[in-house]
Amino acid sequence: MKVDVQGLVVRYGDVTAIDDLSFSLAENKIYGLLGRNGSGKSTLMSVLAAFRKPTAGTVLVDGEPVFENGRATSRICLVQHGVDPADKGDRLKDALALAGVFRESWDAECAERLMDLFGLPRTKKLGQLSLGQRSAFGVVVGLASRAPLTMFDESHLGMDTPTRYAFYDALLADYMAEPRTIVLSTHLVEEQAALLEEVVIIDSGRLVLHEETEAVRSRGTSVTGPTGLVDRFVEGLTVLNQRQLGPTKSAVVYGSLDRDASGTEGLELGPIPLQDLFVHLTEPAGVTR
Amino acid sequence: MFDDRSPIYRQIADRIKADVLSGALEADQQVMSTNQYAAFYRINPATAAKAFQQLVDEDVLYKRRGIGMFVSPTARDALRAQGRETFFGQVVDPMVAEARSIGIPLSDVIKRIEQLEDGR
């Protein structure tokens, strides 16, 4: 499913959660939605799923407005973290059956397979699950929905490492069997980066960047060496961060470098993990760590 | 599983090249599919596809429509020739520089190489 967001604004009273946001998602890619706490990720996803009406701007899915559009929303699945208190008394098997009723794309066989994979007890009530189990149940519902737009809002919360790996394997296998547009919001940037074809980074409700994950990764470089040399090298470049250790300086620069740039003598140039780039790109101005 | 030094697709491409060089992958042998690579390395299939595309562009692999990817008959010789071109610059020169900086006389290095050669 294609998504087009234009000039989106969401306000809660005095608070502007989404501030004039525009971007587009193509069909059948896996996107990562990254942002610090309170950056507007969950608000954005709930608007994309039509759980919430925007204050201003448009959200189109496959060219149609999403809000109060049953035909569109039946093809969208948002897995939020935390369970609606009203569901707490439902047994897992009943909750699954209910999830299937509303979706024509629902794959019951897939749901059963994933319930077994995560070892989820079918007769337990939702309110009795641990956080990790609740997250796993959300993943079951999200994947089995086979919705053309499926969004997971931090669906790894509380999962232990083996369970997260099982989640990633199941996600990839299911996506390859049935390609669709998937959005993952996450703070586990390093662990999940390889799953993401593109990343959308937002900060204070605004777009920081939207690009191919590999392109973002190749755009950050750390430059380390004697202070004078580093200063000369980074002149005119976008410096995201600088740190000093005695006579040695290390700077993080953003943007493509001339491959055969002169003046690298005596300097050590290295890559920056995506997670560190993300931290620097969303750092409040003037902060140095 | 991957380091941060280069894009993941390049690392996958390098591994396939290493397999061609070592003979683990032979001429005209079929390689695993993009999806198999993606599942195995737990990466986005578009990334794996990018690695394969790079190898097709470099004539290491060729595509047979609807069947899959195969090792080019010329790949091994071409990779060996490339490897010979970069060997001294990428392997020997840094080794000599390292030996100098930690104070190992080059004559000791040469002695070691000769020992390894005799041991064969």
Shared-domain flag, residues B86 and B58: no
Q: Which residue, among A29, A156, A174, A176, would best test binding to B if mutated, counting the most B CBs under 10 Å from its CB?
A: A176
Shared-domain flag, residues B19 and B69: yes
- Inter-axis angle of helices B93-102 and B106-118, nearest 10: 130
Q: Are A271 and B6 in contact (CB under 8 A)?
A: yes
Q: Which two tokens stand for residue A143?
A: 């994947």
Q: Is the pLDDT of residue B17 over 70?
A: yes
Shared-domain flag, residues B69 and B93: no
Instruction: Quote the number of domains for chain B.
Output: 2
Shared-domain flag, residues B29 and B63: yes
Look up the pTM and report it: 0.88
CA distance A54 to chain B (A): 32
Residues of chain B neighbouring A197 (CB-CB closer than 8 A): 44, 46-47
| Residue B59 covered by a domain | yes
| A172:B45 CB<8 A | yes
- The domain locations on chain A are 3-204, 216-281
Shared-domain flag, residues B36 and B62: yes
Q: Are A9 and A16 in contact (CB under 8 A)?
A: yes
Domain A216-281 grouped into CATH 3.30.70.240? yes
Residue B27 is part of which domain span?
8-73
Fill in the DSSP letter of residue B3: -
Length reported for chain A: 289
Shared-domain flag, residues B36 and B82: no
pLDDT in tens, B18-54: 999 999 999 999 999 999 999 999 999 999 999 999 9
Q: Mind spelling out the 3-state secondary structure of A144-199?
A: HHCCCEEEEECCCCCCCHHHHHHHHHHHHHHHHHCCCEEEEECCCHHHHHHHCCEE
Q: State the CB neighbour count (10 A cutoff) for residue A13.
A: 5
| Residue B3 covered by a domain | no
Q: Give, for B16, the enclosing helix (H) or strand (E).
A: helix B8-22
Q: What is the pLDDT of residue B74?
A: 96
Q: How far is CA A134 from CA A119, A125, A157, A159, in A?
A: 12, 10, 9, 9
CA distance B120 to chain A (A): 38
Q: Is the pLDDT of residue B2 over 60?
A: no
CA dist A147 and B58 (Å) reads 38
Q: What is the pLDDT of residue B46?
A: 95
More confident residue, B117 or A142: A142
| Residue B18 covered by a domain | yes
Shared-domain flag, residues B95 and B111: yes
Q: How far apart are the first and last CA of chain B?
A: 33
Q: Which residue, among B1, B42, B44, B47, would best test binding to A if mutated, counting the most A CBs under 10 Å from its CB?
A: B44
CA dist A19 and A29 (Å) reads 25
Shared-domain flag, residues B23 and B42: yes
Does the beta carbon of A181 lie under 8 angstroms from any beta carbon of chain B?
no
| Residue B1 covered by a domain | no
Shared-domain flag, residues B67 and B111: no
Q: Which residues of A175-205 are buried (b: 16+ CB within 10 A; e: fewer)?
A: bbeeebbbbbbbbebebbbbbbbbbbbbbbb
Shared-domain flag, residues B65 and B99: no
CA dist A187 and A224 (Å) reads 27
Instruction: Domain A3-204: give its CATH code.
Output: 3.40.50.300
**What's the CATH number where B68 sits?**
1.10.10.10
Shared-domain flag, residues B68 and B95: no
Q: Which two tokens stand for residue A10?
A: 């969401």
pLDDT in tens, A228-242: 999 999 988 889 889
Q: Which two tokens stand for residue A88?
A: 């707490």
Q: Are B81 and B65 in contact (CB under 8 A)?
A: no
Q: What is the pLDDT of residue B101?
A: 94
Q: Which of A165, A214, A270 sits opposite B7 (nearest CB)?
A: A214
CA distance B13 to chain A (A): 15
pLDDT along chain A (289 residues), means of 10: 97 94 97 95 96 96 94 93 72 91 90 96 92 94 96 94 96 96 95 95 95 89 92 90 93 77 78 88 66
Q: What is the pLDDT of residue A258?
A: 65
ipTM score assigned to the predicted complex: 0.85
| Residue B2 covered by a domain | no
| Residue B107 covered by a domain | yes
Does the beta carbon of A29 lie under 8 angstroms from any beta carbon of chain B?
yes
| A194:B8 CB<8 A | yes
Q: Which residue, among A211, A214, A265, would best test binding to B if mutated, counting the most B CBs under 10 Å from its CB?
A: A214
Q: Are A71 and A49 in contact (CB under 8 A)?
A: no
Q: Which residue of B has its CA nearest to A222?
A: B5
Shared-domain flag, residues B47 and B85: no
Smallest CA-to-CA distance from A176 within B1, B31, B37, B15 is with B37
Catalogue the E-assigned strands of chain A: 3-12, 15-25, 30-34, 56-61, 64-65, 76-79, 149-153, 181-185, 198-203, 206-212, 220-226, 238-245, 248-254, 268-271
CA dist A239 and B73 (Å) reads 47
